[in-house]
Structure 1
Amino acid sequence: MWLYVVASLLGLFLLRRWHRERQTVPRLSEKHVLITGCDSGFGSLLARQLDARGMRVLAACLTEAGAAQLRAATSDRLQTVLLDVTSSKSIADVTAWVRQRVGDQGTTGLTPLLSPSCHPIIPSFTLPICASRGEAGTGLWAGGAAPALPISFPGLWGLVNNAGISIPTAPNEWLSKEDFVKVLNVNLVGLVEVTLSLLPLLRRARGRVVNVASVMGRVSCFGGGYCISKFGVEAFSDSLRRELRPFGVRVSIIEPGGFQTGIIDPAPLVKGFVGLWERLPAEAQAAYGRHYVDKYAKTTTLLQRLSSSRLSHVTDAMTHALLSRCPRSRYAAGWDARLIFVPLSYCPAWLSDTIIGLFLPIPASGIP
C-alpha cells in the first residue's frame, strides 16, 4: 500500500519537474548572452547554437583567430570581443563594451509575478495604466491590488563563464606556487572578476549566470590547480546562487565529465608533464621513477579515447540553464559524470581513494 503511494508521489513529482523544465523563457531574439572561452570547444559550440536560435550572442575569445573563425560560422547577430580573463583591464574593457550593446535596460523597480522556485514567468510588457497602478476592481486583476510586473526588456540576460585551462597538471610535489596560480587565475579568479563586473547588468535583467565547473570539482583525481579551481567554482557558485535568488537571478553549475576538447588533449598534457619531470631534482626523480611518466602518458591517452566527442551534451545543459523557466542548480553532463563521478563524490574517503588509486601510477619508492 505505502509502496504504491510513494511510487505515485514520486511519479507525479518527476512529471511536474519534466513539465516545468520544458517551458522556456519568451522573446529569445531580444536577449543578450555573453560567453567566455569561445575560441573552441564548449564555448564555440554554444555560441553557434544560441545564434541559430536567434539570440544576441556576445562571444568573448582569447585570440583574433578564434573570433574570426566563429564569425565565419555564424550570423551577423553574433558579435565577438577579445577577452583575457587574467587581465583586470581586459575585463573592464569588455564590461564597458557589453554595456554599450545591451544598455542599462532591465526590470528595475518592479517585482515580477513568480512561479514558486522558478524564474519570473511573465514576459516583459507594458501594462494598462489602471492595472499598473493597482486599482481595485479594474484592469487585468479585478477585485484587488494588481501584482507588480516588469515593464522593460532585459539587458544582459545571461553570462556563461566557460574559459578554462588545465596545464600544468602533475603531482603537487612537482609544482611551484606559480604553476598553481597560473591555472587558478584563469579558472577561478578570472571567473569571479568577470562575474562581479557584470552583476549589475545581470541583476537588473533578472538574468542567468552559468558557471562551468567539472566533475573534478566533486572528486579531485590529480594534482595541480585544475581540481582546486573547480572546487572553488562550485563554492563561489553556491554562495552566489543564494545571494542573487532574491533578485530573481538564477545561478547554475555545469559539471562535465570527460569530453574531447583541448583541455584533455594528450599532446600538450604529456609535454607539460615531461617538462615538469625534467626540472625535478635527482632525489625526486629517483623517488617517482621514469615509469611514472610513462604510465601517466598512457593513462592520459586512454582518457582521451574514452571521452565523449558529443560536446552537445554539455552545451544542451548550458542552453537549458539559460532558457528554461525553471533551470537546475547543477547539471552533470556525460555518462561518466552521472554514473561514476557523482556517485563517487558521495562515497566515504577510504572507498573513493581506493577506486581512484587503481588508476594512478605507483612511485618507484612507493608502497604497492
Structure 2
Amino acid sequence: MWVYVAALLVLYYVIRWYRELERVPDRGSKYVYITGCDSGFGNLLARHLDKCGFCVVAACFTEKGEEELKKSCSSRLSTVHLDVRKPESIDKATAFVKDLVGQKGLWAVVNNAGVSFPSGSCDWMTLKDYRSMLEVNLDGVIGVTLSVLPLIKKARGRVVNVSSVFGRIAPVGGPYCVSKYGVEAFTDSLRLCLHHFGVKVLCIEPGFFKTSVTDTDLLIKGVKMLWDNLPKETKDDYGDDYVSKVEKLMEDKFSKMPDSDLMKVVSCMEHAVSAVHPRTRYSPGWDAKLFWLPLSYFPSCITDFLMLKDSAKPAKSVI
C-alpha cells in the first residue's frame, strides 16, 4: 500500500512541476509594480524582472534607491517615490502607475515594503510602537493593494503579498508577527473576493534571510532602545542582566540562521508574477520548509515548550 501512496505522491509532484514551468507570454507589455525597492528582496526583484522582460515600476523610499536602480536597469524600468505610511503618497504613486499602464491595466503588484525595528517583549512596548510597524507592514500592504485593484482587475492580473513564516507562528513579542498575521488574513480574504474576477492573490512566506529585517546589530540596538525607555518596575521584573542575555542569544542563534542567498526568495516572487499557474503560497528557505511551517501545525503546548526552552529568562520568572 505504501508503495502506491509513494508513487502517487511522486506523480503528483512531477505533474505539478511540469505544470508550473509554463510562463505568461508577452512580458514586454506587462507592468509589475513593486514596493520597497531601495534594498533587499524588492531591489533584487526589480532588477530580475527587468532582465526577464517585464515593465517594472519600482517604488523606492529614497532618491538614492531610485537613481541606483535606473543606472543598473533598462529603459523599461520606471521608478516612483513611495511612503506606504502616507495615503497621499500612495495616491500619487498610483496615479503615476495608472498613466503608465493605460488601458492594459496592471499585471501585478508586489507588496514587499516592510520593517522589523524596533522589536521586543510585548510588555516593553506601547500602542504607538505597535502602530508604527503596523502602518508599514499591514496598513501599507492594504493601502497600496486597494489603490491599484481596479487596474489589476482590468488586466486579470495578480497581487503578491510578502508575509513571513512569522505570519504562521509567533515566537517573538512585539508587532512584527502581528503585522504578518494580518497580511496572511488580508491575503486569504482578498483571494476569495477576487476569484470570480480572474485575479490571483499569492503569498510569499520567507524564512530567515540576510536582510535589514534580520540584521542582528539592528535588532540588538532596538532591544536596548526599548529597554532604556522602560519604567524601573518593568526593569526590576526582568533584571539588570536581561538585555545581555538577549544579546548573547541573538548572537549565538540569530546571527547564524539567516540565509544569504536572497535569490531563493526572489525566484519565488518571479514565479508568482510570471507563471501561468502560480502557487497560492511560497515558503522559500529550508528553515521555513523543515522547521517553522511544520512547527506551526503542532499543538501549542509543544511549540511553546520549544520556543521557551532556550529563551532568556526574566529575573522574577516563577518557572
TM-score range, shorter chain: over 0.9
Are 1:253 and 2:173 an aligned pair?
no
Conservation of the 8 A alpha-carbon contact between 1:260 and 1:304: no
Tell me the amino acid that sits aligned with residue 10 of structure 1. Answer: L
Are 1:365 and 2:316 an aligned pair?
yes
Are 1:344 and 2:295 an aligned pair?
yes
Conservation of the 8 A alpha-carbon contact between 1:188 and 1:229: yes
Question: TM-score normalized by structure 2?
Answer: 0.97
Are 1:6 and 2:5 an aligned pair?
yes
5 Å-filtered alignment, 1:77-226, equals: 77-105=76-104, 155-226=105-176
Distance 2:93 2:200 in 1: 22
The match for 1:138 is none
Are 1:321 and 2:272 an aligned pair?
yes
Tell me the amino acid that sits aligned with residue 56 of structure 1. Answer: C
Conservation of the 8 A alpha-carbon contact between 2:19 and 2:277: yes
The match for 1:109 is none
Distance 1:93 1:104 in 2: 19
Distance 1:318 1:236 in 2: 18
Question: TM-score normalized by structure 1?
Answer: 0.84
Tell me the amino acid that sits aligned with residue 273 of structure 1. Answer: V
1:221, distance to aligned residue in structure 2 (A): 1.1
Distance 1:48 1:255 in 2: 21
Tell me the alpha carbon deviations over residues 226-276 of structure 1, each in whole angstroms, 9 at most, x when there is no partner: 100000000000011111111111111100110010111122221221111
Question: How many residue pairs end up in the alignment?
Answer: 318
The match for 1:52 is 51
5 Å-filtered alignment, 1:276-295, equals: 276-295=226-245
- State the SS of the aligned residue for 1:156: coil
1:189, distance to aligned residue in structure 2 (A): 0.7
1:305, distance to aligned residue in structure 2 (A): 2.7
* C-alpha RMSD of matched pairs (Å): 1.1
Tell me the amino acid that sits aligned with residue 211 of structure 1. Answer: N
The match for 1:266 is 216
Conservation of the 8 A alpha-carbon contact between 1:256 and 1:333: yes
Conservation of the 8 A alpha-carbon contact between 1:188 and 1:230: yes
1:278, distance to aligned residue in structure 2 (A): 1.2
Give the gaps of 5 or more residues in structure 2.
none
- State the SS of the aligned residue for 2:37: coil
Tell me the amino acid that sits aligned with residue 358 of structure 1. Answer: K
- State the SS of the aligned residue for 2:18: helix
Distance 2:3 2:294 in 1: 27
- State the SS of the aligned residue for 2:205: strand
Give the gaps of 5 or more residues in structure 1.
106-154
The match for 2:190 is 240
Conservation of the 8 A alpha-carbon contact between 1:172 and 1:223: yes
The match for 2:259 is 308
1:7, distance to aligned residue in structure 2 (A): 3.1
- State the SS of the aligned residue for 2:120: coil
Distance 2:181 2:250 in 1: 22
The match for 1:22 is 21
Distance 1:221 1:281 in 2: 25
**Which has the larger displacement, 3-12 or 355-364?**
3-12
Moved over 4 A (4+): none
Tell me the amino acid that sits aligned with residue 305 of structure 1. Answer: K
Conservation of the 8 A alpha-carbon contact between 2:133 and 2:176: yes
- State the SS of the aligned residue for 1:104: helix
Distance 1:315 1:341 in 2: 20
- State the SS of the aligned residue for 1:103: helix
Bigger radius of gyration among the two:
1
Tell me the amino acid that sits aligned with residue 252 of structure 1. Answer: L
Distance 2:127 2:103 in 1: 40
1:180, distance to aligned residue in structure 2 (A): 0.1
- State the SS of the aligned residue for 1:290: coil
The match for 2:284 is 333
- State the SS of the aligned residue for 2:20: helix
Tell me the alpha carbon deviations over residues 188-230 of structure 1, each in whole angstroms, 9 at most, x when there is no partner: 0111010001000001101011100000001101111110000
